[in-house]
Amino acid sequence: MTAAAATTDAVAGTTSIFTVDGVHCAGCIAKLEKGLPQLGGVVSARVNFSSKRVRVEHAANLADEDIQAAIVRLGFEAQPLVGEGDAAVHDESRRLLTALAVAGFAAMNVMLLSVSIWSGATGPTRTLFHWLSAAIALPAIAYAGQPFFISAWRALRHGRTNMDVPISIGVTLTAAMSLYETAIGGTHAYFDGAVMLLFFLLAGRFLDSAMRVRAADGVAALMRRVPTDVLVRLPDGSTQRRLAAELAPGMRLMVAAGERIGADGVIEIGRSSVDRSLVTGESVAIAVEAGDTVLAGTVNLTGPLTIRVTAAGEATMVADIARLMENATQGKSRYVRIADRASRLYAPAVHTLALLSLTGWLIAGAGLHHAITIAVAVLIITCPCALGLAVPISQVVAAGALMRRGVLIKDGSALERLAEADMVLLDKTGTVTLGRVGPLSGLPEDPFERGVLLSLAQASRHPLSRAIADLLERRGVLPVTLSDRVERPGLGVSARLGERVVRLGRPDWVDATLGERDGTVAAFRIGAGEALIMTFGDALRPDAAPAIARLREQGLTPRLLSGDSALVVEAIGEVLGIEGGARMAPADKYRVVDELAGGGGKVLMVGDGLNDGPAMKRAWVAMAPASGTDVSQLAADLVFFGDRLMPVPLAVAVARRTMRVVRQNFVLAIAYNVLAVPLAIAGLVTPLVAALAMSGSSLLVVANALRLRGAAK
């Protein structure tokens, strides 16, 4: 199964991981794994179909952007994965998995022996089987129980208690009591119960750890994007390297092509294009010239620039946003996960119950041995197998269902919080709209004409040409071969198709009548045929209106937050039927969310830009499109793929269904305890009853959670 990793001569230096959308079948896997190594510098590519990721080993000098572009050429959407690579979480999952395997092994083998005892083994055979069980169970408990023992010990040392304390006490007491029973040749040993308990609990913990992602340090990642030293031109004309922190407004900064800009400023000399992906998430470069403003952390791509600094160091917009995000993290009260809330109530209740049974039986005149046996039975029977499985199994199943629909969940509690959201704030550019300039109308319908247009558009690097080429390539149009393709800068591209001249460019150059249309336009003409006028703009996501209508149906009040002018916001708001705030700076967005949160609102913030970061961090729960900035994805709890907005209401619906199932699971688990505990207190629970009750309730909870598999349909 390793043959798919093709190799070239290149030497692997770095590994990059991309999340890829559109991988549906074996053919897609093969296409990526065989196609990517064709790119010079890529050593191998390996697709993980379950998590929709591709891991690319490549030479260190190959940029992530180039690999991303190669994946897009292969017909998939790709985003570099950020905030990942958390080895600690992965290690924990792996430790839990090995502990789970050991517990599973022990449970099966001990059960094998126990069944013989239940079916009537007596005398020396029973004692032999008990000893054998002990020989398997005790080392297994010592190994597989460690996650609980360590956590319980840690809690006790700090004078607190948690769910692991009753578990540890229960398991240890059960093992000790069973060993004593075995030594005196008694009838009942609970080794099977103890290991089975560990097995079910570990299963819950393992699933839970799979859902947990430790929050990545987004703020530090953000500030790393600003260079630490910059080239300053002194008033006498000489240049000097200085620390970015020493910059002051008014200084002149020299930025070479390919360098990151070290401060906010206004361009004085030079013409270039700037990659603003840090701020907007949009990777298409923006042309800039003298008089335009640039921001710290963006990349100067094509030409040298001289910049007059307007804000430096702590005053730059990036630093400002980093600071706001830090505040947001502190201001947000830590959400207590529903499972933790349940366990806070649970631990004291179980301790009290076991203690009461012990004293109760002692008072009633039972011997110490008898009373302890019953107390231990109470501990076993109340152990929270089903309770521990109730939440994580539901979340894992729901997360899998959402993943198949292109929504990634970054944290298990995200679903809990999303289910409670009662208000949704949407960023405009890149969230409600696609965030990139594309043809809105006027594309030719005829496949052949489309091929001609694509061929023309591919000949130019002009943003509009690239937007056309990008759209047509996505739709699977194949370019038609043209001769004499010439680009006339500022005018357009022309070429020959047999006898006819084909042109794409400025309407007047193509001899097209513009009519009533305004805004950004381009014209396309084949020979003397009718000219097509194409209009360009940042289009709404195709399903924005129904998605917002659905959010409203779900009882979430939608609102638009935008940095754009009031006119644009009003126009979009009218189409979608929502109102919103215009001209909002990052701090304004943050304040809106903060005020709503202060009033008890549970805000779902959907955003994609750097300027949404603080608001998203402050919000109750946040979602970001995969095309958004790194910052927005770090701040988000859920990330969705593709050009559609429907994943947002879909995720809300799934979250609510998940919480319904979680609640049902709690009821099932507690109902089981309510039925079983009186039996235990009455002293009627034998190892057989305990085993049946535990596995029965756990299976019931798992089966109920599996109903969520189709939740995202």
Partner 1 sequence: MTGLAVLIPIALALGLAGLAAFFWAARSGQFEDLDGAALRILIDDD
Choose, from 164, 264, 427, 608, the residue flagged as catalytic: 427
CB 244 within 8 A of CB 262: yes
For β-strands 14-21 and 77-80, DSSP reports them as antiparallel
Structure tokens at 111: 């059960």
Q: Which is nearer to partner 1, 26 or 363 (CB)?
A: 26
Residue 133 CB, shortest distance to partner 1, in Å, is 11
Residue 55 CB, shortest distance to partner 1, in Å, is 10
Question: What does the radius of gyration of the chain's CA atoms come to, in whole angstroms?
Answer: 32
Q: Which is nearer to partner 1, 26 or 567 (CB)?
A: 26
Instruction: Give the helix/strand (H/E) hosting 272.
Output: strand 271-275
Q: Which is nearer to partner 1, 101 or 336 (CB)?
A: 101
Residue 125 CB, shortest distance to partner 1, in Å, is 7
Q: Which is nearer to partner 1, 129 or 148 (CB)?
A: 129
Residue 93 CB, shortest distance to partner 1, in Å, is 10
Q: Which is nearer to partner 1, 54 or 253 (CB)?
A: 54
Q: Which is nearer to partner 1, 98 or 352 (CB)?
A: 98
Q: Rounded to an integer, what distance in angstroms lies between the CA atom of residue 308 and that of residue 421?
A: 45
Structure tokens at 462: 């002009």
The region that residue 120 occupies, defined by phi over 0 for left and psi between -120 and 50 for alpha, beta otherwise, is left
Residue 137 CB, shortest distance to partner 1, in Å, is 13
- SS3 annotation, 448-476: HHHHHHHHHHHCCCCHHHHHHHHHHHHCC
At 391 the three-state DSSP class reads helix
CB 251 within 8 A of CB 232: yes
Residue 419 CB, shortest distance to partner 1, in Å, is 26
Q: Rounded to an integer, what distance in angstroms lies between the CA atom of residue 593 and that of residue 602?
A: 9
Binding site for partner 1 (CB under 8 A): 1, 3-4, 25-27, 29-30, 47-51, 94, 97-98, 101-102, 105, 108-109, 112, 125, 128, 132, 136
Q: What residues have CB less than 8 Å from 428, skipping those under 6 apart?
A: 560, 561, 562, 563, 564, 568, 569, 572, 580
Q: Which parts of 383-499 fold into alpha helices (H)?
A: 385-404, 413-420, 447-458, 463-474
The DSSP code sequence of 75-105 is T-EEEE--S---HHHHHHHHHHHHHHHHHHH
Q: Rounded to an integer, what distance in angstroms lies between the CA atom of residue 545 and that of residue 552?
A: 11
Residue 696 CB, shortest distance to partner 1, in Å, is 24
Q: Rounded to an integer, what distance in angstroms lies between the CA atom of residue 347 and that of residue 388?
A: 12
Q: Rounded to an integer, what distance in angstroms lies between the CA atom of residue 424 and that of residue 603?
A: 6
CB 522 within 8 A of CB 491: no
Q: Which is nearer to partner 1, 98 or 239 (CB)?
A: 98
Residue 408 CB, shortest distance to partner 1, in Å, is 15
Q: Which is nearer to partner 1, 53 or 618 (CB)?
A: 53
CB 504 within 8 A of CB 523: yes
Q: Which is nearer to partner 1, 2 or 238 (CB)?
A: 2
Residue 31 CB, shortest distance to partner 1, in Å, is 10
Q: Is 437 exposed, middle or buried (0-12, 13-18, 19+ CB in 10 A)?
A: middle
Query: Residue 268 phi/psi, 5° resolution?
Result: -100, -45
Annotation says 612 is catalytic: no
Catalytic residues: 427
